[in-house]
Amino acid sequence: MPAFRSRLSPGRLAILSALPALLLASPAPAEQTVRQFDARAGKWVVRRIDNARLAGRLNAAPIAARNVAYAGEFKAGTVIVDTQKRRLFYVNGNGTAREYVIGVGREGFAWKGRERISRKAEWPVWTPPAEMVSREAAKGRILPASMEGGPENPLGARAIYLGDTLYRIHGTNEPWTLGKAVSSGCIRMANDDVVELFDKVDVGSLVVVR
């Protein structure tokens, strides 16, 4: 069988061979449009996120995410939160699950149950609930009425809202708290981990906290 011969000129072949490297080197857009829920106004709003300002601000987990064997009852796409082990599992559906280290609710704030993901937000606005504001004020700590999304925001890079509860799976600006029981009931993840999970899950997906 005769060998295949390209009809492209050497110059065009050189350009095509360089395309993968050029694509990989393409910079992220300077700005990104995200849809966030403004709790004060009670409506969704569109905001612009400055990616250049946030570049390199995603924090890594103290323990890297990994795939582990899974032969449990839950189907692909389910999120399982093990509060005792302080691990979150995303069921891949091929006999494995993706395991992440997390922070969970401290004593008196821990909970268990099943919820469906009700919405997702990128670089979410943080609006602390009234009971948290009162609780922290009693300690001498004054919380803001609201805080725009960004690396200093306690919700971190992404938030995954659970049903109609106040609980969320979200990033954190305190990665050293991962693996501990420190939150007010929310599930904390490293920002790079929650971005990965955010892209995997859908609104309506099941979250099992046990």
pLDDT in tens, 76-126: 999 999 999 999 999 999 999 999 999 999 999 999 999 999 999 998 988
The C-alpha atoms of residue 89 and residue 98 are separated, in whole angstroms, by 5
Across the range 19-33, mean pLDDT stands at 45
Residue 7's Cβ-count burial label (10 Å; 0-12, 13-18, 19+) is exposed
| pLDDT in the model for residue 94 | 95
CATH of residue 68's domain is 2.40.440.10
Contact 76, 69 (CB under 8 A): no
Number of domains in the chain: 1
Looking at the domain assignment, is residue 15 inside a domain? no
> Range of 89's domain?
30-209
Looking at the domain assignment, is residue 94 inside a domain? yes
Parallel, antiparallel, or unpaired: how do β-strands 181-183 and 104-105 relate? parallel
Looking at the domain assignment, is residue 7 inside a domain? no
Which H or E element spans position 110? none
| pLDDT in the model for residue 2 | 40
| pLDDT in the model for residue 153 | 86
Looking at the domain assignment, is residue 102 inside a domain? yes
| Residues belonging to the active site | 170, 186
